[in-house]
């Protein structure tokens, strides 16, 4: 008997119309997340092999297997940020693998997490989502070795991503030292572009720029982790640049200073933000951590939206010793990123770390 042909609904909806949010903008706001997690590990035994857990809101868990290997484990999934199913799969997979790279690890395999409204989407569309994710895993050189699927109200796709790293090369968001230089590997603005897409205001060039950013694997991570002068590493995702910089500040016990004029932006996003293309997550982010950020006089509403803009598959944010800067830039260039933006510095140690925004050169 021949296989059943793909089921095609009469009026298949746009993917983004089926979800209340998209990409990393779906994340629970940082303040609420902290409240939820506050008691989650009370009384839970933590083995000495667990090198990284949830204590500093790091990108992934790390478990030491032996003297030469540690397992990096993470999961990430979300609802559609774009309507093209293949592109949605690519973006979600790239974003999930980023957490392994941000810990200094190299991915070894992934498991797919799939939730789809099967009464509203065709098997062909759902298959294209999975094909998009698989294409990124092939680029990363790893298999999708299994997974789990459910019938859900909103479409959801992502990965459990597993990787390996030498225990002495694990990178955390908590090791920044006073005097370190801060760098960012990708420009900001993905959330603004996604809001413009939903409003029908994103042209073909803007969509291409969005895809170029969100589907670029953060492959410099392991090579950066091998540099002795790199002290802290994370990726900028749903909490925006300010949120993830504050996580680094709190984990490291140091305030950070950012030169806003040096922060790279995707072409056209400031103009789109001024037109009201801002995600709801941006406001939720700012409400959660704005009290810990010092802004310069005259900081505009669109700049504030970009500072807290949720990034899907965002860039690596790192702190390194000034003398290591040439080597860091060389790693980014070798992986095809060009020069990463130098956008700030690590300040003195503080019992109440803050993020200071400036407009002068740093």
Active site positions, annotated: 24
The C-alpha angle with vertex 312 and arms to 331 and 297, in degrees rounded to 5, equals 90
Helices (H), 215-324: 220-225, 240-252, 269-274, 280-289, 301-307
Say whether 83 counts as a known binding-site residue.
no
Q: Which helix (H) or strand (E) holds 85?
A: helix 85-102
CB neighbours of 8 closer than 8 A, spacing ≥ 6? 122, 124
Q: What share of the chain is helix, strand, coil (3-state, %, to 5)?
A: 40, 25, 40
Say whether 76 counts as a known binding-site residue.
yes
As to burial, measured by CB atoms within 10 angstroms (0-12 exposed, 13-18 middle, 19+ buried), residue 295 is middle
Say whether 338 counts as a known binding-site residue.
no
Say whether 84 counts as a known binding-site residue.
no
Whole-angstrom distance, CA of residue 51 vs CA of residue 48:
7
Say whether 149 counts as a known binding-site residue.
yes
Say whether 308 counts as a known binding-site residue.
no
Q: Which helix (H) or strand (E) holds 321?
A: none
Nearest to 256 by CA among 349, 160, 323: 349
Say whether 21 counts as a known binding-site residue.
no
Distance from chain centroid for Cα 335: 18
Nearest to 164 by CA among 74, 254, 227: 74
Would you state the structure tokens that stand for residue 176, as one six-digit string? 């920044």
Annotated binding site for ATP: 27, 56-58, 76, 99, 147-149
Annotated binding site for Mg(2+): 59, 99, 235
Annotated binding site: 27, 56-59, 76, 99, 147-149, 235
């Amino acid at each position: 008997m021949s296989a059943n042909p793909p089921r095609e609904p009469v009026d298949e909806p746009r993917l983004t119309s089926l979800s209340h949010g998209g990409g990393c903008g779906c994340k629970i706001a940082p303040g609420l997340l902290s409240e939820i997690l506050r008691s989650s590990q009370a009384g839970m035994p933590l083995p000495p092999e667990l090198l990284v857990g949830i204590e500093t809101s790091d990108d992934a868990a790390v478990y030491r297997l032996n003297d030469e290997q540690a397992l990096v484990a993470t999961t990430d999934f979300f609802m559609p940020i774009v309507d093209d199913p293949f592109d949605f799969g690519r973006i979600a997979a790239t974003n999930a693998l980023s957490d392994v790279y941000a810990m200094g690890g190299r991915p070894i395999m992934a498991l797919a997490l799939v939730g789809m409204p099967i009464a509203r989407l065709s098997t062909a569309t759902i298959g294209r989502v999975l094909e998009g994710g698989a294409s990124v895993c092939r680029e990363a050189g790893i298999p999708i070795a299994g997974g789990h699927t459910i019938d859900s109200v909103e479409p959801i796709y992502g990965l459990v991503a597993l990787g390996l790293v030498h225990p002495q090369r694990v990178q955390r968001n908590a090791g920044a030292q006073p005097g370190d230089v801060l760098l960012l590997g990708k420009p900001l603005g993905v959330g603004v572009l996604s809001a413009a897409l939903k409003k029908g205001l994103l042209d073909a060039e803007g969509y291409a720029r969005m895809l170029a950013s969100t589907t670029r694997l953060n492959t410099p991570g392991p090579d950066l982790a091998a540099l002795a002068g790199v002290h802290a590493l994370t990726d900028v995702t749903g909490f925006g640049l300010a949120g993830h910089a504050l996580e680094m500040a709190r984990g490291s016990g140091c305030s950070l200073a950012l030169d806003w004029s040096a922060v790279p932006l995707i072409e056209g996003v400031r103009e789109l933000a001024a037109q009201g293309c801002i995600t709801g997550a941006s406001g939720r982010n700012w409400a959660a951590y704005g009290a810990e950020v010092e802004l310069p006089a005259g900081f505009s509403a669109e700049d504030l939206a970009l500072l807290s803009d949720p990034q899907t598959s965002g860039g690596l944010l790192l702190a390194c010793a000034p003398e290591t800067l040439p080597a860091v830039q060389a790693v980014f260039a070798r992986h095809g990123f060009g020069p990463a933006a130098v956008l700030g510095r690590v300040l003195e140690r503080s019992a109440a770390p803050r993020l200071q925004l400036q407009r002068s050169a740093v």
